[in-house]
Amino acid sequence: MAIASVNKASSAAVGLQDSISSVVFKQAGQRIYLRLDPLVTEPALQRFDPSYAPSQAQVVSSGGRAAAWFVQLTSVAAVLRHFRRGGLMARLVRERYLWLGLARTRSFAEFDLLRLMWQAGLPVPRPLGAAVWREGFTYRAALLTLRIDQARPLALCGEPTVWFEAGRVIAKMHQFDVWHADLNVFNLLVDAQDKVWIIDLDRGYRKALTAAQRAENLSRLLRSVKKVVPEFESSCWQRFKEGYQSALNED
């Protein structure tokens, strides 16, 4: 294993001045890139491998396209996700993506967006690490995030008060100019204190959002409600919209 560089990530790289470190090295004909939170201790690369015995990996029962695991780091519980394709493309290429630069890799882009949101106080899991294995013109990727304890998806929560809070959370996300690429009832989690969390920001982005983009995000979530929990639409969706509007009215 040849270490090419180990350094603190610059604010230009992650949009923050913090203690995130970046590591680049070569191994078995690949160039491997890591972005690491201080909570991820050595051996860092093995933390992205679900077969690494000390991680005690357990498959997440839903989501992640069968590529997500609950894992144990030295001091914290985390979620490991390997990026895999969906749809028709998955029949041809399961987990490799076209290399368009490190910043545009799935794991680094999501890590950086989560970090910005987490530092801003938005309810997203703390990003712990991103990994990219580049080989030629393609790469594969993985992401580590802090596990939200005792969390259940919004799809399993029919309390209107929680949906009101979910509306407020999504409004705050939109006010921070973040667009969620897959806003659905499984990508909003509710913890034991009924706090609502946003997860899976893959392909999400931050830039000035139009009213149409915000409305499209909400429409996507409503389609998920109608498909997965139609019984919640009459009792909970109105409360969601009220919560969303209440957050907007605070400004």
Q: Give me 194's structure tokens.
A: 């009924």
Q: Give me 48's structure tokens.
A: 């992205």
Residues 6+ positions from 203 with CB-CB distance below 8 Å: 106, 109, 181, 182
Q: Cα separation of 213 and 207, whole Å? A: 11
Catalytic residue among 182, 191, 200, 251: 182
Q: How far is CA 70 from the centre of its chain?
A: 14
Please report how the helices 211-228 and 160-175 are oriented relative to each other, as an axis angle in degrees rounded to 10: 150
191 is catalytic: no
Q: Cα separation of 93 and 142, whole Å? A: 16
Q: Give me 42's structure tokens.
A: 């050595």
The residues that are catalytic are 182
